[in-house]
Structure formats: C-alpha cells, structure tokens
Amino acid sequence: MPIKWSALKVSEAADMIEGYITQAAEPLEQAKIVALEARKIANLPGYMDDDFVGFKWDIERFLERLNGRIGSARKSIPSEALEAEQARLKDGTIQKLM
C-alpha cells in the first residue's frame, strides 16, 4: 500500500534535525567538561558533586536519546518509497512511456 506522505520530505527533515543536534552536541560536550572540572573544586560538598555528575550523565543520555530518535525516524521511512520519490524527482514529474 503506497504511503500518502512524502518520504523524501521526512528524510530531509530528519537530516535537518540531525544537523541541529550535531551543532548542539559540541556546546553540550563543553558543558560536560566544565561539570567534570567543577568536581575538582577544593572542599566541594558531596551534594554539589552529585549535581555535577548528574550534569554529565544527563547530557550523555540526552544526546543518546536524540540520536536514537533520529535513527528510529530514519528506519520508519520505507526505503522503496524514498527511492521511488527520489527517482521521480530525478526524472521529472512526467511519466515515461517505456
């Protein structure tokens, strides 16, 4: 059964989302480094250390979940529908006679 939505547009949206996630990953990685360095502050109370460890774990889980979601979205796109739509655009919108 053919899909009624554009597999190509969904794929392009996933690409855009992935691009923004990639851009956001570097500042989040920097925040993680700062959190780990903050743990080295002299006489830091344990409850503060827990917060800084929590930042590290939350950032890692957040990025993993986002990347997993992108992968899930990509797997949900029927490859044959995507390929057919790309071929239609490549060949133009006029159907071939043969």
Per-residue pLDDT of the chain (98 residues; tens, 9 = 90+): 678 899 999 999 999 999 999 999 999 999 999 999 999 999 999 999 999 999 999 999 999 999 999 999 999 999 998 998 888 888 765 555 44
Q: Kindly tell me the burial class for residue 97, based on how many C-beta atoms sit within 10 Å of its own C-beta (0-12, 13-18, 19 or more).
A: exposed
Residue 96 has a pLDDT of 52
Residue 90 has a pLDDT of 84
Residue 93 has a pLDDT of 59
Q: How many whole angstroms separate alpha carbon 75 and alpha carbon 42?
A: 48
Q: What is the dihedral of CA 72, 74, 80, 82, to 10 degrees?
A: 150
User: pTM for the whole thing?
Assistant: 0.77
DSSP for residue 95: P
